[in-house]
């Protein structure tokens, strides 16, 4: 049973050939699109601003202070926060505000440095493994599996025991142990991408394997790679703080946030502020990196979103 | 099934062998022997001590000797404590750590799962926002910061919980919370995202269409599948609690293996470091093995042959 519809109700649509082909929205590249999405994420942008501020203050702040991180002033030890010493002083009379700035600097350097090391080693290792496949992949991934079955913290502890404490050694230890997760991500990306036509086209044009990996495959999997690297920063900062806390961190008189926390543990019953400030800085930094990383993931790789 | 289990056991044993070998080599790479003390020991005494611990033999001999001992579950003597073996150290420390860790694991599951479920069921509402906010905090606050904060507020200021010694159930409360903090957060996040994933699937719509009450749909149909990804987190969970115990036991002065391990690092007691690492690796590999098998049993979709 169908009702008849009056044909006068309809109005023919005029078709303008020019109009159809007009592109309404501006053409956005992948990165522009990601930036557009990221900008809409308030939490991520606030985190980014906090991080940038932290970096600026940590890098330039100490220049404007009359104190430094190493000069002792035994007479003025364990002072409570005041106008003179914003965060108070420690047992040896060192200004804790400046020590906190230096600590933030070291923690940031460790985090970002570890992320870079993870990036380079992981991308190369995972790229080779995923691209070549077969036995190469099998062997390389077996090694990764073995490394993966023991927690990173345990490794880093062992390596630090061998190398001895110190900033340089923390970088080496983190570099040796952090790339494993990245290698897995990159390998997965390579396996998915290498079947696609543009790789075949590149090969048909005579591109070398190295060129295909570095120029075609890696740029196309940059989204997940950057997200993984960003997430490595807070994790590395945490690991460094953890190491410092069990006495394997940077050597005195230098101090990272973890060292400051560890030093304060001894006196926390009377001078709680000595613990509070570095702990708070550490938490804010970790929170900002995590939230920014979450936002970055949502912006760069909507599929990964959960 | 049997095939799969045998395969996993073999790869587990290989993993262990690699870890043991690497750790052994690392421990013997350390410059300076265990008997290099501040006070110079006469050469004769040093030689005699080295002979006693077989340190004068070539490295491959020591390695073979160590493996032979391992087969008999003998981790050798401690370098630091005269007359104590690593086995004894583990025997006294591990039960304490295992108890604490076990309670922490159960606590994080009992808390994390309901939180995740509530959050998923109330997606977008205040309950969800609250849980996710707490989870973000839980992930970003390092365990040692949480631990010292708890100790200061509830132990020292409010006096609700003891800050010294170890033994009564009250002693467990703060360390368990500190240890379970970030695992709880991760579990609730995981449960939430996994449940949200499952709820959108067709078979849930079918169940609802059949008129099954919502409670049964969620708790009987959806949850079963939603918990599978959470199960895979059990391995990392145990690893997290294990490494977390290093700092938590130090802060709360709990006489567990974690504290012993950290002390052996400070004392440069190499055989204890080596032995404890081997012990931890065995523990983790066995746990991962059990989780993998459990995973395959629970989810028949996972092909056992691959």
Across the interface, which of B19, B145, B197 has its CB nearest the CB of A282? B145
Task: Provide the number of CB pairs (under 8 Å) joining chain A to chain B.
Answer: 99
Q: For residue A8, give the 3-state DSSP assignment.
A: helix
Determine the pLDDT at residue B110: 93
Q: Is the ipTM of this complex over 0.95?
A: no
Query: What domains, with CATH codes, occur in chain A?
Result: 31-69+87-304 (1.10.3720.10)
Binned at pLDDT 50, 70 and 90, residue B70 comes out as confident
HEC readout, chain B? CHHHHHHHHHHHHHHHHHHHHHHHHHHHHCCCCCCCCCCCCCHHHHHHHHHHCCCCCCHHHHHHHHHHHHHCCCCCECCCCCCCEHHHHHHHHHHHHHHHHHHHHHHHHHHHHHHHHHHHHCCCCHHHHHHHHHHHHHHHCCHHHHHHHHHHHHHHHCCCCCCCCCCCHHHHHHHHHHHHHHHHHHHHHHHHHHHHHHHCCHHHHHHHHCCCCHHHHHHHHHHHHHHHHHHHCHHHHHHHHHHHHHHHHHHCCCCCHHHHHHHHHHCCCHHHHHHHHHHHHHHHHHHHHHHHHHHHHHCCCCCCCC
Q: Is A35 exposed, middle or buried (0-12, 13-18, 19+ CB in 10 A)?
A: middle
Tokens 């709990």, located at residue: B254
Closest-CA residue of A relative to B33 is: A162
Residue A306: what pLDDT? 41
Task: Give the model confidence (pLDDT) of B1-60 as tens digits.
Answer: 778 788 888 888 888 888 888 888 888 777 665 565 555 667 777 777 677 666 777 778
Instruction: Say if the Cβ atoms of A154 and B137 lie within 8 Å.
Output: no
| CA-closest candidate to residue B196, choices B137, B128, B135 | B128
Portion 263-282 of B in contact with A at CB < 8 A: 265-266, 268, 273, 277, 280-281
Instruction: Report the residue from A153, A157, A283 with minimal CB separation from B145.
Output: A283
Chain A residues with beta carbon closer than 8 angstroms to that of B151: 268
- Walk along chain A (306 residues) and give the pLDDT tens digit of each residue: 567 788 888 888 777 777 777 777 777 777 888 888 888 888 889 999 999 999 998 888 777 777 776 776 666 666 777 767 677 777 776 777 888 888 888 889 888 998 999 899 999 999 898 888 888 888 888 888 888 777 888 888 888 888 887 888 888 888 888 888 889 888 988 888 888 888 899 989 988 888 888 888 888 888 888 888 888 888 888 888 888 888 887 877 778 888 888 887 777 777 777 788 888 888 899 889 988 988 888 888 655 544
What is the arithmetic mean of pLDDT over B240-266?
A: 86
**Which structural domains are found in chain B, ordered by start?**
1-306 (1.10.3720.10)
B15 contacts on A by Cβ (under 8 Å): 145-146, 149
Q: Which of B30, B151, B247 lies at the smallest CB-CB distance from A161?
A: B30
Q: What is the pLDDT of residue B108?
A: 92
Min Cα separation B53/chain A (Å) = 20
Q: Are B109 and B117 in contact (CB under 8 A)?
A: no
What is the Cα–Cα distance from B174 to B154, expressed in whole angstroms? 8
A-chain CB neighbours of B281 within 8 Å are 149-150
Could you tell me if A160 and A239 are in contact, meaning their C-beta atoms sit under 8 angstroms apart?
A: no
For the record, the structure tokens of A77 come out as 């030890």
Candidates A154, A158, A290; nearest CB to B139: A290
């Amino acid at each position: 049973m169908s009702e008849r519809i009056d044909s006068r109700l309809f109005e023919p649509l005029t078709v303008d050939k020019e109009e159809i082909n007009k592109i309404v929205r501006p053409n956005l590249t992948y990165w522009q699109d990601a930036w557009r999405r990221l900008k809409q994420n308030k939490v991520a942008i606030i985190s980014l601003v906090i991080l940038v501020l932290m970096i600026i203050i940590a890098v330039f702040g100490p220049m404007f202070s009359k104190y430094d991180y190493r000069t002792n002033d035994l007479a003025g030890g364990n002072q409570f926060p005041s106008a003179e010493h914003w965060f108070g002083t420690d047992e040896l009379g060192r200004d804790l505000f400046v020590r906190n700035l230096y600590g933030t600097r070291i923690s940031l350097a460790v985090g970002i440095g570890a992320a870079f090391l993870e990036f380079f080693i992981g991308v190369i290792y995972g790229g080779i493994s995923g691209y070549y496949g077969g036995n190469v992949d099998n062997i390389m991934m077996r090694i990764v599996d073995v490394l993966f079955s023991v927690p990173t913290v345990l490794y880093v502890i062992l390596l630090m025991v061998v190398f001895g404490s110190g900033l340089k050694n923390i970088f080496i230890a983190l570099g040796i142990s952090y790339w494993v997760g990245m290698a897995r991500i990159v390998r997965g990306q390579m396996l998915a991408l290498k079947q696609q036509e543009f790789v075949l086209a590149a090969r048909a044009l005579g591109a070398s394997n190295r060129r295909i990996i570095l120029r075609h495959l890696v740029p196309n999997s940059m989204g997940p790679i950057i997200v993984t690297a960003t997430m490595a920063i807070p994790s590395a900062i945490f690991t460094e703080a953890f190491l410092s806390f069990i006495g394997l961190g940077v050597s005195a008189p230098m101090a990272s946030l973890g060292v400051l926390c560890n030093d304060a543990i001894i006196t926390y019953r009377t001078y709680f502020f000595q613990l509070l400030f570095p702990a708070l800085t550490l938490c804010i930094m970790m929170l900002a990196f995590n939230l920014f990383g979450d936002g970055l993931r949502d912006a760069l790789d909507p599929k990964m979103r959960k | 099934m049997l095939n799969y289990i045998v395969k996993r056991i073999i790869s587990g044993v290989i993993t262990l062998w690699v870890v043991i070998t690497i750790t052994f080599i690392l421990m013997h790479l350390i410059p300076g022997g265990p008997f290099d003390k501040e006070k110079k020991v006469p050469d004769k005494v040093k030689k005699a001590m080295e002979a006693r611990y077989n340190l004068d033999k070539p490295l491959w001999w020591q390695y073979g000797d160590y493996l032979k001992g391992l087969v008999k579950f003998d981790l050798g003597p401690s370098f630091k404590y005269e007359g104590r073996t690593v086995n004894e150290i583990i025997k006294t420390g591990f039960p304490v750590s295992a108890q604490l860790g076990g309670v922490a694991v159960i606590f994080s599951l009992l808390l994390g799962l309901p939180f995740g479920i509530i959050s998923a069921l109330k997606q977008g509402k205040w309950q969800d926002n609250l849980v996710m906010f707490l989870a973000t905090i839980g992930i970003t606050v390092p365990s040692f910061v949480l631990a010292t904060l708890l100790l200061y507020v509830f132990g020292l200021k409010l006096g609700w919980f003891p800050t010294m010694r170890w033994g009564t159930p009250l002693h467990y409360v703060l360390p368990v919370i500190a240890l379970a903090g970030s695992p709880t957060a991760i579990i609730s996040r995981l449960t939430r995202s996994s449940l949200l994933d499952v709820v959108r699937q067709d078979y849930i719509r079918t169940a609802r269409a059949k008129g099954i009450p919502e409670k049964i749909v969620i708790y009987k149909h959806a949850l079963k599948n939603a918990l599978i990804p959470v199960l895979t987190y059990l391995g990392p969970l145990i690893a997290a609690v294990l490494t977390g115990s290093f700092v938590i036991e130090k802060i709360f002065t709990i006489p567990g293996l974690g504290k012993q391990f950290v002390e052996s690092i400070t004392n440069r007691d190499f055989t204890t470091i080596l032995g404890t690492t081997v012990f931890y690796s065995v523990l983790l590999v066995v746990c991962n093995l059990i989780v993998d098998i459990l995973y395959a049993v629970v989810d028949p979709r996972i092909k056992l042959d691959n």
